[in-house]
Chains A and B, each alone.
Chain A
Amino acid sequence: MNEILEIVLLSLFVSGTATVIAALIGIPSGIFLSISNFAGKKSVKRVIFTLMSLPPVVLGLIVLLIISNEGPLGGLNLLFTAKAIIIAQTLLILPIITGNIITSTEELSVKLIDTVKTLGGKKKDIIKLIMLETKPFIITAIILGFSRAISEVGAVILVGGNIKGSTRVMTGYITLNTSMGNRNESLIMGGILLVIAFIVNSLLERYRYENN
């Protein structure tokens, strides 16, 4: 039981951190991309949407190459640590969050910009207003990002190593127990993962409709 609790807490910490980092970068970038006009904007959007379908294992491999001893960040000793998992999950969900913000706010943004401009507002006001108006979409993007992060297997095992007591998260535990033929343990952990996803969804969902 103790082991399971540790694994659950580690998963929450790792995926929570990754979601916060990815949201802090992805939400402003997404909104910026949806309200601004510049040469190459279409290409940037296309790259973001393409990255949404990057196979996680490939992403994991790239992170592994960067943080392994001979990689550019080899000196930081990130390989097979929880930090490595956070990096991989952050990079995995960053395009997902950014892309979702772009698709959901773009149409609304155009209308808002016109309104704010007519009323004499500045770019700062536009961003503030969009953040307020698009809160439900932002929450949805965060939920999507977190769900994707906590359910990732391949990249996480590759860079984290699935080491017992230090980098074994819920999905790694499920993979291991399935390979060992312990189907009950796998199903129980799968159930816990679903319950967590349900709770996170419910909490954010409530926040989403507050003040609205």
Chain B
Amino acid sequence: MRKILVVLLVLLMVGCQKEEKLMIATTTSLDNSGLLAYLLPHFEEETGVKISVVAVGTGAALELGRNKDADILLVHAKEQEIEFVESGYGEKRADIMYNDFIFVGAEKIDSTNLTETLNFIKDNLEFYSRGDNSGTHMKELSLWDSIDYTPSGDWYKETGQSMGSTLNMANLAGGYTFTDRGTYLSMIDNLDLVIAYENTVELLNQYGVIKVTDAENSKVAEEFYNWILTSEAKELVSAFRKYNEQLFYVE
């Protein structure tokens, strides 16, 4: 019996050692979109690397990178990402793809531009903000900032929760929220929310890849960083569809 256990243990250790690993920290929105489940197996097949994905908020993803608990970060808060690299936590960073953010709610907002939309929301509607320093929350705050307004009051609810939970809350309470298109589309069957305002140019959602400095799996991380920027990977990203809609666009 003991011999069998020893043999099993040795086999297990050999099995573990043979496989190269890569730890990716990403945002919940990207994970919810289904892109990674579609894209990453291509890299795994080509290289034999086993990828683990941790989906958290952008803030937490950067923190995982700082502690070297992740090798690669796929996030969407460009300013913070550049700061992250400049502070020495990231070895390098590149844009990989983009899509857009949208306002969603019970009905379409009758407006022609972003300023009008924001003013209409703050004067008339109940708004659910992520309030969690995520990439989406940062973007939303920058919008209010663009009309020199600091949101506060009973109409402005900071949920401190994921995009999915916040969409559900807005849905249940008849409120409005700001979301990336991908998460909204992935939940559309369970939501009565419609697109209230959209404009890809104003509401750009830029995703970037960061290789963490002195990553634990540095060699594989380098391989992945180069791979995701190849035209082959970019074609895969462009070909990804959800409800017949293209979700991500490459540079």
Contacts and interface: CB of A to CB of B under 8 A. Distances in A.
Contacts of A163: 157-160
A178 B160 contact: no
A97 interface: no
A155 B66 CA distance: 32
Interface in A65-110: 68-69, 79-80
Contacts of A157: 161, 165
B141 interface: no
A136 interface: no
B160 A69 contact: no
B59 A161 contact: no
Contacts, number: 61
A80 B157 contact: yes
B159 to A, nearest CB: 6
A79 B172 contact: yes
B152 to A, nearest CB: 9
A175 B61 CA distance: 15
Contact of A164 (B59, B66, B160, B165): B160
Interface in A157-208: 157, 161-166, 168, 172-173, 175-176, 178-183
Contact of B63 (A79, A166, A176, A183): A183
B161 A162 contact: yes
Interface in B39-94: 56-57, 59-64, 66
A181 to B, nearest CB: 3
Contacts of B64: 181
A165 B174 CA distance: 20
Nearest to B174: A69
A181 B172 contact: no
Given A80-B169, A161-B169, A181 B62 contact: yes
B147 interface: no
Contacts of A79: 172-173
A176 B161 contact: yes
A182 B157 CA distance: 21
A172 B57 contact: no
Contacts of B95: none
B169 A180 contact: no
Interface string B174-191: 100000000000000000
Contacts of B62: 181
B133 interface: yes
Contacts of B59: 179-182
B131 interface: yes
Contact of A179 (B132, B157, B158, B173): B132
A69 B161 contact: no
Contacts of A179: 56-57, 59-60, 132, 162
A183 B67 CA distance: 12
Contact of B60 (A69, A164, A180): A180
Contacts of B162: 179
Nearest to B161: A162
Interface of B: 56-57, 59-64, 66, 131-134, 157-162, 165, 169, 172-174
19 contacts: A79-B172, A157-B161, A157-B165, A161-B169, A163-B158, A164-B157, A165-B158, A172-B160, A176-B131, A176-B160, A176-B161, A179-B59, A180-B60, A180-B132, A180-B134, A181-B56, A181-B59, A181-B64, A182-B59
